[in-house]
Amino acid sequence: MSQMNIATVDLNLLKVFEALHEESSASRAALRLGVTQSAVSAALRRLREVYGDQLFVRTGRGLAPTLKANQLKPVVSDALNKCRQSLAMVDPAANQYDGRSVSIGLSDDFEIAYGRRLIEEIGRHAPKLRLIFRQTHSQIVARALMERSIDLAITAGGFAERLLSRQVLGEGGYACLVDPASLAPGQQQIGLEEFVTREHILVSSGGFIGITDEGLAALGLSRRVCASTTHFAALPHLLKGSTAVATIPTHAAQAIASLSGLALLPCPLDLPRYPVELGWRTNTQIDPVVLKVREAIVASFKTE
């Protein structure tokens, strides 16, 4: 690799790098930057010289970043965001959110229940800012934040890492969803005996045992799980036309029931409540745009 210093590097290359990493495609990066595809290809050749690495390799589905590119991405994006911040300092009235995005890690139960409200809140306070919702859960959220693949996260805990801050947004409980056709006329709830005899759909990020199994085990009971899924959004399709029941966080159950026509029932088991927390990287120089989104998330949960 030849000797490089910042005086010899065109800093526009960093914008191309960010676009290539986020779009995984030279043609999409070109579209995003308003330049030709050949200009992006030329910039990529130069980037490879600067960093002494392939950076992006062609796969059947576009461009995949190398290990080096993944290590560079948070540093490059931070640098570009600092530049965007500097422009906002010169002209605070200017639209400092155009071209900016903030990544929020959350499981799709929170996305289903709060996503629309968040989009509206951000639209009011940070017009033209793009929200990126990324799937995460409490077991992996700390690493995702530390690796900077997300800026903020909403989960039921998981922020014990020393370099992370957290704020409690509220607490949640559980409710049941069933196909109303599987209920008797006028039936508003299911008892524990019926609950145990029905088949169950488990929503889990990977485990075979859920909080419901733990609650039943404490009573010396068990249930039969006919299928498990990682996505709450699949439940209407998996429950319709069956007698199966899904026990999920109340906020998601309410949102899914209101759109899908599934019946929302109280959970016959006394399950423990859990905290809903907002987490972020502790940093003295907090990005004002991330701060704005943090405030919008807190406001969205307060309007419950």
Tell me how crowded residue 289 is: count the other CB atoms within 10 A of its CB. 20
> In the sheet that 152-155 helps form, which strands lie side by side, from edge to edge?
130-135, 101-106, 152-155, 274-281, 164-172
Residue 1 binned pLDDT confidence (cut-offs 50, 70, 90):
very low
φ, ψ for residue 255, nearest 5 deg: -65, -40
| Residue 111 within a domain | yes
CA 11 to the chain's CA centroid? 30
- Clarify whether residues 124 and 193 are in a common domain: no
Beta-bridged to residue 247, according to DSSP, are 176
The verdict on residue 262 lying in a domain is: yes
pLDDT class of 82 with cuts at 50, 70, 90: confident
CATH assignment at residue 43: 1.10.10.10
Asked if residue 90 is part of any domain, the answer here is no
Q: What is the pLDDT of residues 123-160, one digit of tens each?
A: 988 888 889 999 998 889 999 998 888 999 999 988 88
Question: What's the domain range around 205?
Answer: 174-271
Q: What is the pLDDT at residue 96?
A: 65
Q: What residues contact residue 257 under an 8 Å CB cut-off, 6+ apart?
A: 177, 263, 264
Residue at 84 is within a domain: no
Pair (66, 145) in one structural domain: no
Instruction: Tell me the per-residue pLDDT of 225-265, one tens digit each, with 9 for 90 and over.
Output: 999 999 999 999 999 999 999 999 999 999 999 999 999 99
Instruction: Decide if 88 is inside a domain.
Output: no
- Between strands 245-249 and 174-178, the pairing is antiparallel
In a domain, 87, yes or no: no
Angle between the 12-23 and 67-90 helix axes, to the nearest 10 degrees? 120
- The reply to whether 115 and 226 lie within a common domain is no
Q: How far is CA 69 from CA 26, 39, 49, 52, 134, in A?
A: 15, 19, 13, 11, 20
C-alpha closest to that of 138 among 282, 230, 254, 276:
276
In a domain, residue 178? The reply is yes
* pLDDT surpasses 60 at 3: no
The answer to whether position 1 is within a domain reads no
The number of distinct structural domains making up the chain is 3
Q: Are residues 189 and 134 in the same domain?
A: no
